[in-house]
Amino acid sequence: MKLTSKWLLWFVLVTVYAAVIGGLFYYNLFKFVFDQKLQNEMVEMVRYRTPQLVQALAKKPRDVSFNEADQMKEMLQNDARIKNVIYLNYDGSIRWHENTKFLHMSYADYNNSVGFDSNAVVQAIRTKTPRSVLTGDGDEYDMAIPLLAKGDVAGIVNLKVSRASARDLIHRSMIRYVVGAVIMFLLIGGVLYLFLLLKVIRPLNALKDSIDSLTLNNLVLSYPTRHDEIGDVAVSVQGLLGKIKEDMKGLEHGEILALENEKTWWKAIFAVAVPKGTRAIVVDENNNVLYTNFELKEEEGRKIHLLDIFDGTQQEIIQVVGEALENPTKVLRGTTTTKDVKCTVKAVELPNDAGKNRIVIVLEPEK
């Protein structure tokens, strides 16, 4: 897998992970903020009417006044979020209900016959603070807001409030969050990809092309100087090429010395074993001449081939050499005529010595 593919995979995984974690965080944040906003609005709605309600409670401790009834109906009718209103006295008896048959019913009787959605009323009376309990599978709030007079609870307004508006706000906010997150990650991903492309991928491809263009005859890395990690790699590669060039020079020098030593060795052998007037030639497996006991015109930098010595009419020599290649260590014989002199041709492929194949050819004039 290439670097771009790995980067893309990791970026997608990281962005998805960050989006999920961020989504959970913001969802709970939105839920807290908008639910709290809903509850605060309900509390402020009741507190706005508290002075009038407390004054009426003081005048008529048991019976609801027309003004109080109008206040309850107004809240129920003017705010679609409010599904039900129950107005209670300090002792929990019902002071106002949309259904008049429940008027003056005690808290216990109403709870047994109809039932409150939660114990928010009891909590509000005990704590003297507004209480909210989530009911209806999370779709509604049962809110109890105490009406305080000189620090004591004079009455309770019990509201059943729908969370539909808060949930709608949360949904719209989450949509905005997702859209914003996608745009942000696209922008960040685009910038990071451009950086990766311009500062990493292209320089690496250029370095690869430079390395691919190297040959044994040209061990020079053509790559511009960079003051970063990729530039350091290029410098290291160039240093390695320099060491290879030095090693190759050493090997070439060693091969030249070995060849010179081998020529000296063949000269001594031929001086002892080959009679005077007999021509002897040593060639490699490619029929390139390595040594002769007679003088040859050599061109600098060019190897002499066996066919450069013998023309096409002397096929007997080539045939004998070919047979010698097929029969290692066996001496093969033949006859040929060179420079109007009839000669006996002998050829033998010597045993392989450390990967060096040598063929000795002897042309002995017939007496």
- CATH of residue 320's domain is 3.30.450.20
Q: What is the pLDDT of residue 311?
A: 64
Side-by-side strand order, sheet with 94-97: 94-97, 82-89, 152-162, 140-149, 131-135
Query: Residue 62: CA atoms inside 13 Å, Cβ hemisphere, count?
Result: 3
- DSSP class of 119: S
The answer to the question of residue 215 being in a domain is no
What does the pLDDT read at residue 31? 86
Asked, for residue 62, whether it belongs to a domain, the answer is: yes
Do 110 and 71 fall into the same domain?
A: yes
Q: Which of 170, 199, 218 is the last residue of a domain?
A: 170
Kindly report, residue by residue over 211-237, the tens digit of the pLDDT: 888 887 788 888 888 888 888 888 898
* Same domain flag for 110 and 7: yes
Q: Give the residue from 351, 346, 338, 352 showing the smallest Cα distance to 280.
A: 346
Q: What is the pLDDT of residues 108-156, one digit of tens each?
A: 999 999 999 999 999 999 999 999 999 988 889 999 999 998 889 999 9
Mean of the per-residue pLDDT values of the chain: 86
Domain co-membership, 260 together with 280 = no
Out of 53-57, 82-86, 135-139, 270-274, the most confident range is: 82-86
Query: What's the number of domains the chain is made of?
Result: 3
Q: Evaluate whether 333 touches 346 at the Cβ level (below 8 Å).
A: yes
Residue 334: which residues within 8 A CB-CB, separation 6 or more?
A: 316, 317, 319, 320, 344, 345, 347
Assess if residue 221 is contained within a domain. no
245 shares its domain with 339 = no
- Decide: residue 122, CB within 10 A, 0-12 exposed, 13-18 middle, 19+ buried: middle
Looking at the fold, whether 161 and 234 belong to one and the same domain comes out as: no
User: Which pTM was predicted?
Assistant: 0.56
What is residue 312's predicted lDDT score, i.e. its pLDDT? 61
233 with 320, same domain: the answer is no
Distance CA 294, CA 343 (A): 16
Determine the pLDDT at residue 43: 94
Q: Could you tell me if 237 and 330 lie in one domain?
A: no
Highest mean pLDDT: which of 151-155, 211-215, 290-294, 334-338?
151-155
Residue 93 lies in a domain: yes
Q: Are 7 and 117 contained in the same domain?
A: yes
Whether residue 198 is contained in a domain is answered as no
The pLDDT assigned to 301 comes to: 66
pLDDT at 330 over 70: yes
In 10 A of CB 252, how many CB atoms? 10
From 240, 269, 298, the end of a domain falls on: 269
Does a structural domain hold residue 183? no
Same domain? 15 vs 151: yes
Mean per-residue pLDDT, 278-300 = 81
Dist. CA 106–CA 93, nearest whole Å: 4
Structural domain containing residue 353: 274-365
237 and 327 belong to one structural domain: no
Query: Has residue 160 been placed in a domain?
Result: yes
Task: Mark which of 170, 195, 211 sits at the end of a domain.
Answer: 170
Is 212 inside any structural domain? no
Whether 117 and 136 share a structural domain: yes
Give yes or no: residues 361 and 235 share one domain.
no
Higher pLDDT, 307 or 227: 227
User: For residue 207, is pLDDT > 90?
Assistant: no
- Mean pLDDT throughout 261-290? 83
